[in-house]
Structures are given as C-alpha cells and as structure tokens.
Structure 1
Amino acid sequence: MTGTLLNHHAEGPASGAPLLLGPSLGTSYALWDKVAPDLSATHRVIRWDLPGHGGSAADLIGPGAGVGDLAALVLALADSLGVERFAYAGVSLGGAVGLHLAVHHPERIESLAVICSSAHFNGSKPWQERAAQVRAEGLERLAKSADARWFTAGFTVPELVRDHRDADPGAYAACCDALAAFDLRDRLAEISVPTLLVAGREDPATPPAHLREIADAVPSAALVEIPGASHLAPAQCPDAVLTALRAHLNGTAGRGMEVRRAVLGDAHVDRAQARQTPFTARFQDFISRYAWGEIWTDPTLSRRERSMITLTALVAHGHYDELAMHVRAARRNGLTPEEIGAVLLQTAVYCGVPAANSAFATAQRVLAEEEG
C-alpha cells in the first residue's frame, strides 16, 4: 500500500471547529469509535491512522523515525483538508504527537488533550528491543498480549486487537523507534494552549504519574483520572473520556474546576474526584462546567453574596450535608461566624424555626471543627 497522506475519516459539520484525533500504537482510528460520533455533533472530527496501521500506507515512515516525522504527516493531512488551526486529542503515541505539535507548531494548535500518554516512554531500551523483535518475527506474539497491555482483566475490543495483528511490522517497528527517541520533558513549560491530561487509573503503560508530570509542567493544565480505565481509555471508558473532552473543548472545565477548588477546598474536590466512576462522570462534569464554570464565575454577585444565598437555599430545602460543606465554603469566601449566624437567623423567619434550628446545629459543629 502506498500513498502520500495518512488515511483518515472525517465526520461532523464542515463548518464545525476542526478536531483531530490521534491513535495509539497498534490501533487504527477505530479506537475512537465510541467517542468521535458524539464529538462530531459540534466539531469537524478528523481521525487518522498511523503509517502501516488501518488504511495508512506503510512507506510513510521508515527506520529511525521520530515523533516529529509523524507530526509532519498530521500537518500535511490538515493542510490537504484546508485546516489551518485545530484542536487535537491523542492517545499514547498519538498523545506524544500532540505534545510535539504544541511545542514545535503552537500556531496550529487551538487546544490539546493528551490521553494515557507521556512526555517520555520509560527510556529507549524497551522500545528498541520491541522494534527488533517485530522486525524479526512480526506482530503475532505481541498481538496475543495486547489485551493485557491495553485493558483491565476481562475486557477486550476484538476489532482493535485485529488492527494490532494486521499492522505492517516495519511501520510498527518504526513507530517504536519514534517512541524510543521521544523525551519532551524539558520543553513542557513552553506549551501555552489550553491542555487537558487524561489518565487511566489502571494503566500500566503510562500510569497517572506520567500524566501528572505533564500537568505539573504545563501552565494551567488540567488533569482527570478515570477509575477503572487502562491504556486505551476511549475504548474502555468512552463516556468518561467524552465527558472530559466535551468540558475541555467547551472551555469552561478548567475555569469551573479552579473556582470549585477555591470555594470548596482541594481536599473536598479531590475526594469527589476519587469517588468518580464512569456512571457519575457526566454529573461531575455538569457540576464543574455549569455550576462552577458559569454560575459561580458570573461577576454580578460576589462570592460572599453567593455563599449567603446558597446557605439560605440549602436550609430551605433541608440539605444539611450540603449545608456543612457550604458553611466551610462561606468561611473561605470571607464570611465571619457572626455573619453566618445572621444568615441562619434570617432563615428562621422565612424558612421556618425547625429548619433554622437544624441549620444552627450543623453550622455550630462545622465552625467548631474549623476553629479546632
């Protein structure tokens, strides 16, 4: 198979904001099958195949290739489609391509999402050994262990394993060469575009620490950890990945999370994030994006005033667990214990004495804990 451009699949409105999706080594653009259709409701989604994978020609890459060579192929694809500037999301090797583009071609990148990837891939030796193995014996043995490297026990996506087995060994080995030479740790601070890092909590290939390293180095980056996800998170936990990407692409997730942490405290938000599951991920996104990213950031009211309103509403509806959380938040927003007491006294008139009685008991406990 020969060609000058990467094989790709485009979907979504032609007038939509362009979004390029990059795959992991050994997979095709089918990796995004459970995510891309939903993203295409608002974006012009363009998925591409690595050289020698899916429908891309093997001779687009050769021995000794670097991630920069793959990035150049992605830019050539974008140019052929008339796409000047685009959002980018990639998994593993596809994520490394995104990091390279953000450092070396920032004028082309609108935003970046790096999923189950790294700024380095545990040194060159393992990849050099894998490249040599594949050049000598092909991909059958590696394909047999794909499930263990890609997913948690008992989960599989047969189509992706088949893609692994059918990839061109020479092109696969050249991609291993690229991973062996990749190390962008000393350039991460140069990334200036909005950046999302997504880690699979069960990922043995690029564990959360690798994504946290990038998040710590890239200014204003956001990090999301997905419980139960291994290396190919878009295939195993598509809803959680979709939720994170939607929030990131909409531009309110980072701002909302920042305000949420400022008001509720890191410890509370960290606990909420740790309890997040694929079932609750969309609700957590809703809270961060809508409540904290839109309502609490509206400058019409101060955070002090919003705390007073919130305390009153929680007393009125008897949500005392939430009230305890927001008494702490009110203290962070500058309310004194006396002011909190005055708000609760006001609720006795308009929400009822029994409700206010329970509210005072909750607030007194929380304020004593805070004082202690």
Structure 2
Amino acid sequence: MTNKLPNHRTEGSASAEPLLLGPSLGTSLALWDAVAPELAAAHRVIRWDLPGHGASPAGLIGPGATVGDLAALVLDLADGLGVERFAYAGVSLGGAVGLHLAIHHPERVSSLAVICSSSHFNGAGPWEERAAAVRAGGRAAMAELAGSADARWFTPGFTVDRLVQDHREADPASYAACCDALASFDVRERLGSVRVPTLLIAGREDPATPPAHLREIADAVPGASLTEIPGASHLAPAERPEAVLAALRGHFTGFARRGVAVRREVLGDAHVDRAQARQTPFTARFQDFISRYAWGEIWTDTTLTRRERSMVTLTALVAHGHLDELAMHVRAARRNGLSVDEIGAVLLQTGVYVGVPAANSAFAVAQRVLAEDGDV
C-alpha cells in the first residue's frame, strides 16, 4: 500500500467475491470487528479507514472535500488490490460513499448495503459549523466531540471504548474535511438511477440518521429493501452485530440476490429494468417476494433444467389464461433453449389437456411474439 491509499485490512479467501466495508465518521475499521470475520467466510472482505482515521494517512483529502473524493479513494484502493467489481456495505459517511459509487460507477458495484446513513445529512449548516470548530480547536475540539460520542452513536448504557478512542485520535484536519463532504452530500434526485441490488439497514433508535432517512432511500431505489434493527443506534454493526450480520448475509449471499440475476438471465435485462422502473412503495414488497421466492428459490433449483421449467410454465400460463405473462415466457423459452417447434409442441399438448380455445389463444400470442422476434 502506498501513502496515497487509505489504510485497509483484508480477510477471507483471495478468490472469494470482494466485499468492501466503509466506516462512519470518527471511527476506524474496528467498527466492523464483530461482523467482518463472519462475512469473510464467504467473501474477500476489505475494510478501509477514512483519511486521518485509524491508520490512514492524513492529507488524502483537504478542505472542501466531497463524498466523491472519498469514493475515488475507494476505487483507487480497489484498483490497487486488483478488484474490478465488488459488493459494498458502509455505515453513515461510508454508506454515502456506497450510494455515490452505485450512482456514478455502477459498473464497479455488484450489490450495496447502506447502514445508518442517508441520501442527505440534514443540510450543510451543522457540518460546516462542526468543521470550523474542529479546525479552530484542533485536538481539544476532537476530545470534546469524543466525549459526546456515546450519545450520538449508541443507546444509553452501551459503548465501545476502542471506537471512542479512535474518535479522539482522529486527525482534526481530515475529520473537518470529512465534515465538508457530509455538508455537500445530497443525492435525493439521483436515487432512482441506482440499479444494483440495495439493502437499507436502520437503527430504530438512531438520532443521527433515523429510520425515515433509510426509508426515503428504500422508497426511491428500484427493488431496494429495508431492515430496521430494534435496540440499535447509529453504529449498528458495533451495537447489534448479530442482526446486522444476518441482514448482510441474506442480502449478499441470499436468495434475493441470486433471484435478480436469474430473473435477468431468463426474462432479459429490458424486462427487469422496466419492472424495476415501474416499482412503487406499494409494489416493492411484491417485487422482493418474486425475486426471493420465484426466481431465487424455484428457478435456481437444479432438479429441473431451465428448458423443462419453461415447458411447465408455458403450460400453466395457458391453463389459467395468463396471456400477457405467456408472451413474456415465450421469449423466455427461446432464451432457455426451446426451439420454435418445441414451443409449438408444448402448446399443442395444452390443446389436448387444457382445451382447444385456450390453445387457440396461446398459439395466437406465440405467433405474434415469435414473428416480432424474427423466429417465424
């Protein structure tokens, strides 16, 4: 690692899928101590420190820094480690970095988890004031902020001494520059452009980024899901690591993620993109159900081949008269390897066991779709 890169720690197999973990302002990669080793069982986990925090050098960013500047450091780190595409999870400022990456560099991010964070941080004023106070007060100001860290970070009676000490020892200039980044961050108008599988995790007792902030992101990002953790404040991975770990495992290695991939393979990117673009808060849970159950559990079961599943699906859709769905699955059947003659044979079979009128309507739909695609 050169002094132009943030400090980092790598855990897990070098051949596993990379997962980058981003920190919150004032903390170090120790924020992930209770979670990262477990995630490393299935991922190449890469934790990183903010500039001037933990063991990262100061001076990587300066006054007027943006979240984009921090995201550029993360990409430099990934490049330095030979990581082209990665999953990403981040807390607070680290979560903002993840949103920036998903919006501006979607080709680098395979999936995203945003924890106790926001698409905006309540306006620039408070952060500008904090940055000015730290620049003026230096180490004394950092000690004062560290003295109130428990109230900002944890529920009453809970603390992690290591993280409070990290706050106290953070470089004042770098800390102030990170405050500048929070002050200028607002991606509310860009959330709809996020297309990677996204999980939002909220601490139900978080005063800094309340659940409403995470809900706002979940409602705007197509296909996103939200998990609220009771008894957690702002640093949920430190305070409720088991709950955070379960949510992250389900998101990064679970059925929902596999389901989205299979759905795209069978139905095509254009269809899935349209479905996600039409998603509303009202339909979001149903879309998540489809991804997890239909595509993540059923279509990934290897007992039947995808060709066989297409045959069964065509028959069922004809039987129930779901002709709009039938058109979509005629295309899916071609993508899954069925020939035009095989599709015709399936529909002919339905004429015997479902009925001639149903088969007649099905042949009309299939003829239209196959003609549109140049297959007949």
Answer yes or no: same fold by TM over 0.5: yes
Q: 1 CA distance for matches of 2:238 and 2:202?
A: 13
Give, in angstroms, the shift of residue 252 of structure 1. Answer: 1.4
2:249 counterpart residue number: 246
The CA deviation string for residues 95-144 of structure 1, in whole angstroms up to 9 with x for no partner, is: 00000000011110000100000000000000001111111113011000
Match for residue 202 of structure 2 among 199, 204, 208: 199
Q: 1 CA distance for matches of 2:105 and 2:299?
A: 35
1:16 counterpart residue number: 16
CA RMSD of aligned residues (A): 2.5
Percent of paired sites with the same residue: 75
The CA deviation string for residues 187-223 of structure 1, in whole angstroms up to 9 with x for no partner, is: 0000000000000000000000000000011000011
Runs of 4+ in 1 over 2 A off after TM superposition: 253-256, 288-302
1:135 counterpart residue number: 135
Match for residue 150 of structure 1 among 150, 153, 163: 153
2:82 counterpart residue number: 82
Give me the TM-score of the superposition, normalised by structure 1: 0.70
Q: 2 CA distance for matches of 1:109 and 1:34?
A: 24
Instruction: Give SS of 2:219's match.
Output: helix
The CA deviation string for residues 10-48 of structure 1, in whole angstroms up to 9 with x for no partner, is: 010000000000000000000000000000001000000
Which 5+ residue runs of structure 1 have no aligned equivalent? 257-265, 271-287, 306-372
- Shift in alpha-carbon separation, 1:290–1:103, aligned structure 2, 3 A: closer
Give, in angstroms, the shift of residue 253 of structure 1. Answer: 3.9
CA contact (8 A) 1:247 1:289 kept: no
1:106 counterpart residue number: 106
Give me the TM-score of the superposition, normalised by structure 2: 0.69
1:73 counterpart residue number: 73
Give, in angstroms, the shift of residue 294 of structure 1. Answer: 2.4
2:274 counterpart residue number: none
2:189 partner amino acid: D
Q: 2 CA distance for matches of 1:214 and 1:254?
A: 19
2:224 partner amino acid: A
Give, in angstroms, the shift of residue 297 of structure 1. Answer: 8.5
CA contact (8 A) 1:52 1:167 kept: yes
2:209 partner amino acid: T
Q: 2 CA distance for matches of 1:254 and 1:227?
A: 25
1:125 counterpart residue number: 125
1:180 counterpart residue number: 183
Instruction: Give SS of 1:112's match.
Output: strand
The CA deviation string for residues 304-341 of structure 1, in whole angstroms up to 9 with x for no partner, is: x9xxxxxxxxxxxxxxxxxxxxxxxxxxxxxxxxxxxx
- Shift in alpha-carbon separation, 1:78–1:123, aligned structure 2, 3 A: same
CA contact (8 A) 1:24 1:94 kept: yes
- Shift in alpha-carbon separation, 1:242–1:290, aligned structure 2, 3 A: farther
Q: 2 CA distance for matches of 1:65 and 1:147?
A: 26
- Structure-to-structure mapping, 1:1-80, within 5 angstroms: 3-80=3-80
Give, in angstroms, the shift of residue 250 of structure 1. Answer: 1.4
Which 5+ residue runs of structure 2 have no aligned equivalent? 260-280, 286-290, 317-376
